[in-house]
């Protein structure tokens, strides 16, 4: 028996209605700055609290990444778990530890961690003060593709946990099947041998033409093997601003220190300014012109930038062609906007602090 559609509505009308409803829904919960005080922390286990900055499990669903806050009381250990998506971690306050596939990593404020997909992991706090960390994950993107899988291991010791999904080894040959086996085996080997931890005390910030000094926190350029995500930190001089630019992929910015405002607009002169402060997250949507400015005349502002670089932008190379993937104004305008960062008396890099 042949299959027949039963909507009695044309493809054109279904698609038009679906897209209009999606945009209306998105405009209802879209927010440019998510204030840290608006993130409700809920107890999810004794001594463990979690809250959603941006994501489907809170009030602001997303399609590519999510951002959550986590707090652990002294003496607390989370359940061990694993999942089919990557997670980037930025540690905000206190001192804790993470166990990633049996390896313990002690961390402090300002440290960064990578939880590779399918890695068994848990967090703990052996100190006398609470600790807090943020996670940025690719779960929404995996959910869209129907591959969001979560497994809770309770308090099972790592040695007794199930191994990662098995990747069949490469086989010799030059035919399409052999090449696929070789490519997938090499990729899994690379991903399972990436870096896991960046210590704040090892960071070195370097001046850029955009008026800031920056450093990578988690990125393939410094040995990480995340699934397309990248995390960097930039510092804006007192009363200065980063030069204006735009790009297709969205970017999220967590304010580590300081306060300021960001311009976002469809054109360099058509947009709005949005105020932000320490602990907030700035959401820069796709292909908006934007510029981040430090409102403090005496102190620098530090911001951690997270975006889904490889996976989304590799796709957009084709979708956006011939438009560029990163656009700035001409050098003369850029340099006028940003100023010379070498003229700034940059302070010593100290670990971030947090007021409970």
Instruction: State residue 112's pLDDT score.
Output: 97
Whether the Cβ atoms of residue 123 and residue 97 lie closer than 8 Å to each other: yes
Instruction: State residue 287's pLDDT score.
Output: 78
In the predicted structure, residue 312 carries a pLDDT above the cut 80: no
Which residues face 25 on adjacent strands?
none
**Beta strands 270-277; 206-207: pairing state:** unpaired
Instruction: State residue 339's pLDDT score.
Output: 85
Is residue 69 domain-resident?
A: yes
**Based on the domain organization, do 29 and 142 belong to the same domain?**
yes
Query: Does residue 105 or residue 221 have the better pLDDT?
Result: 105
In the predicted structure, residue 353 carries a pLDDT above the cut 60: yes
**Based on the domain organization, do 147 and 207 belong to the same domain?**
no
Question: Of 248, 349, 336, 235, nearest to 292 (Cα)?
Answer: 235
Please tell me the pTM assigned to this model.
0.87
- Scanning 124-200, the segments in alpha helix (DSSP H) are 139-144, 176-191
Distances (CA, A) of 161 to 101, 192, 212, 290: 10, 17, 45, 46
Is residue 226 domain-resident?
A: yes
Q: Which of 23-32, 314-323, 328-337: highest mean pLDDT?
A: 328-337
**Based on the domain organization, do 150 and 208 belong to the same domain?**
no
**Based on the domain organization, do 130 and 213 belong to the same domain?**
no
Segment holding 320, helix H or strand E = helix 309-320
**Based on the domain organization, do 140 and 214 belong to the same domain?**
no
Give CA 157 to chain center in angstroms: 29
Is residue 327 domain-resident?
A: yes
Is residue 110 domain-resident?
A: yes
**Based on the domain organization, do 111 and 234 belong to the same domain?**
no
> What DSSP state is assigned to residue 69?
E
pLDDT tens for 223-268 read 998 877 899 999 999 999 998 888 877 788 999 999 999 999 988 8
**Based on the domain organization, do 208 and 338 belong to the same domain?**
yes
Instruction: State residue 143's pLDDT score.
Output: 87
Instruction: State residue 319's pLDDT score.
Output: 55
Query: Does residue 331 or residue 86 have the better pLDDT?
Result: 86
Whether the Cβ atoms of residue 291 and residue 241 lie closer than 8 Å to each other: yes
Quote the CA–CA distance of 99 and 105 in Å, as a whole number. 6
pLDDT band at 315 (very low <50, low <70, confident <90, very high): low
Mean pLDDT, residues 143-168 taken together: 92
Instruction: State residue 26's pLDDT score.
Output: 66
Total of domains in the chain: 2
**Based on the domain organization, do 149 and 208 belong to the same domain?**
no
Prior bond of 322 cis (ω within 30°) = yes
What is the percent of the chain where pLDDT is above 70? 92
**Based on the domain organization, do 97 and 208 belong to the same domain?**
no
Mean pLDDT, residues 90-96 taken together: 97
Instruction: State residue 307's pLDDT score.
Output: 84
**Based on the domain organization, do 116 and 232 belong to the same domain?**
no
Is residue 207 domain-resident?
A: yes
Quote the CA–CA distance of 272 and 269 in Å, as a whole number. 9
> Which CATH number characterizes residue 337's domain?
2.60.120.10
In the predicted structure, residue 322 carries a pLDDT above the cut 90: no
Segment holding 335, helix H or strand E = helix 331-338
| Residue ending a domain, choose from 96, 126, 154 | 154
Segment holding 188, helix H or strand E = helix 176-191
What's the domain range around 245? 203-343
What is the percent of the chain where pLDDT is above 90? 61
In the predicted structure, residue 93 carries a pLDDT above the cut 90: yes
In the predicted structure, residue 7 carries a pLDDT above the cut 70: no
Is residue 188 domain-resident?
A: no
**Based on the domain organization, do 149 and 221 belong to the same domain?**
no
Quote the CA–CA distance of 299 and 222 in Å, as a whole number. 29
- Output b/e per residue, 264-287; b: 16+ Cβ within 10 A: bbeebeebeebebbbbbbbbbeeb
| Residue ending a domain, choose from 154, 184, 212 | 154
pLDDT band at 198 (very low <50, low <70, confident <90, very high): very high
Is residue 170 domain-resident?
A: no
Quote the CA–CA distance of 343 and 70 in Å, as a whole number. 38
Instruction: State residue 310's pLDDT score.
Output: 56
DSSP per residue, 11-67: HHHHHHHHHHHHHHHHHHH--SEE-GGGS--EEEETTEEEEEEEBTTTTB--SS-EE
In the predicted structure, residue 1 carries a pLDDT above the cut 60: no
Distances (CA, A) of 5 to 10, 11, 14, 17: 10, 10, 12, 17
**Based on the domain organization, do 111 and 220 belong to the same domain?**
no
pLDDT tens for 12-28 read 777 778 777 777 776 77
In the predicted structure, residue 313 carries a pLDDT above the cut 70: no
Instruction: State residue 308's pLDDT score.
Output: 74
Which residues face 68 on adjacent strands?
52, 135
**Beta strands 150-154; 197-198: pairing state:** unpaired
Phi, psi angle pair for 29, to nearest 5°: -115, -5
Whether the Cβ atoms of residue 150 and residue 98 lie closer than 8 Å to each other: no
Give a three-class secondary structure readout of 260-319: EEEEEEEECCEEEEEEEECCCEEEECCCCEEEEEECCCCCCEEEEEEEEHHHHHHHHHHH
| Residue ending a domain, choose from 132, 154, 176 | 154
Question: Of 79, 83, 135, nearest to 112 (Cα)?
Answer: 135
pLDDT tens for 119-136 read 999 999 999 999 999 999
């Amino acid at each position: 028996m042949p299959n027949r559609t039963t909507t009695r509505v044309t493809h054109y009308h279904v698609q038009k209605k679906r897209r209009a409803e999606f945009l209306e829904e998105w405009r209802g919960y879209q927010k440019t700055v998510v204030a840290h005080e608006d993130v409700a922390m809920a107890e999810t286990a004794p001594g463990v609290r979690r809250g959603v900055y941006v994501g489907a499990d809170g009030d602001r669903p997303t399609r590519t990444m999510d951002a959550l806050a986590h707090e652990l009381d002294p003496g607390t250990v989370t359940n061990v778990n694993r999942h089919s998506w990557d997670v980037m971690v930025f540690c905000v306050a206190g001192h804790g530890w993470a166990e990633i596939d049996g390896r313990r990593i002690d961390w402090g404020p300002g440290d960064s961690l990578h939880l590779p997909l399918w890695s068994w992991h848990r967090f703990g706090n052996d100190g006398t003060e609470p600790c807090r960390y943020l996670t940025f994950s690719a779960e929404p993107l995996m959910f869209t593709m129907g591959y969001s899988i979560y497994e809770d291991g309770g308090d099972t010791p790592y040695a007794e946990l199930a191994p990662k999904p098995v990747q069949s080894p490469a086989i010799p040959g030059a035919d399409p099947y052999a090449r696929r086996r070789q490519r997938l085996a090499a990729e899994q080997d690379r991903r399972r041998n990436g870096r896991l931890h960046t210590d704040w005390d090892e960071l070195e910030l370097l001046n850029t033409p955009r008026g800031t000094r920056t450093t990578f926190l988690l990125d393939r350029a410094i040995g990480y093997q995340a699934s397309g995500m990248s995390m960097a930190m930039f510092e804006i001089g007192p009363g200065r601003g980063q030069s204006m630019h735009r790009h297709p992929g969205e970017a999220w910015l967590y304010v580590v220190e300081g306060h300021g405002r960001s311009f976002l607009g469809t054109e360099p002169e058509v947009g709005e300014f949005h105020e932000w402060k320490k602990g907030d997250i700035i959401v820069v949507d796709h292909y908006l012109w934007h510029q981040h400015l430090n409102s403090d005349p005496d102190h620098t502002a530090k911001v951690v930038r997270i975006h889904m670089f490889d996976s989304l932008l590799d796709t957009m190379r084709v979708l956006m062609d011939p438009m560029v993937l990163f656009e700035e104004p001409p050098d003369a305008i850029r340099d006028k906007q940003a100023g010379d960062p070498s003229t700034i008396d940059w302070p010593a890099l100290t670990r971030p602090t947090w007021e409970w």
